[in-house]
Amino acid sequence: MSAGSTGSFQSTTLEITTGNREVALDITDRCVAFLNERAPGRDGLLNVFVPHATAGIAVLETGSGSDDDFLAVLRDLLPADDRWRHRHGSPGHGRDHVVPGLVAPHATLPVLGGQLALGVWQSVVLIDTNGDNPRRTVRLSFLG
């Protein structure tokens, strides 16, 4: 983890291992820990950014099957077959490069009193369909 801050801007990077299969990984707890350390009691915005061409950030329900359903939808929309012009890596890897067009590589979330202002069932989720790259960087930035 690396850190940086300037005035009311706080930032850190997380190194996350996602493994060799597609994943919808709930990183809400990491966002909460960052805010508890860097923005206790403050109002502002948390930006979550993944600087990768084959991953994204989603806000969705997890743990009740919605995360698996989301990955299933991506598989249906973007099959891992030989239709893709981008052909390096695993068979069908070209689809992974289309994912950020559907799942943005960032999300900006409200923070009130140092707490994420998410809905009851919402979580911050790293979406990674690229089994060729098991390590991801996520940048958390608080402005407030």
Q: Which domain holds residue 16?
A: 2-143
Which of the four pLDDT bands, split at 50, 70 and 90, describes residue 140?
very high
pLDDT one-digit tens code per residue, 70-128? 999 999 999 988 887 877 778 778 888 999 999 999 999 999 999 999 999 999 999 99
Which of the four pLDDT bands, split at 50, 70 and 90, describes residue 6?
low
d(CA 23, CA 15): 15
Supply the CATH number for residue 23's domain. Answer: 2.60.120.460
Contact assessment for residue 31 and residue 138, using Cβ atoms and an 8 Å cutoff? no
Residue 28: other Cβ atoms inside 10 A? 17
Predicted structure pTM score? 0.91
Domain count within the chain:
1
Cα distance from N-terminal residue to C-terminal residue, the chain: 21
Sheet arrangement for strand 115-116: 2-6, 9-17, 135-143, 44-49, 106-112, 115-116
- Tell me the average pLDDT across 18-40: 96
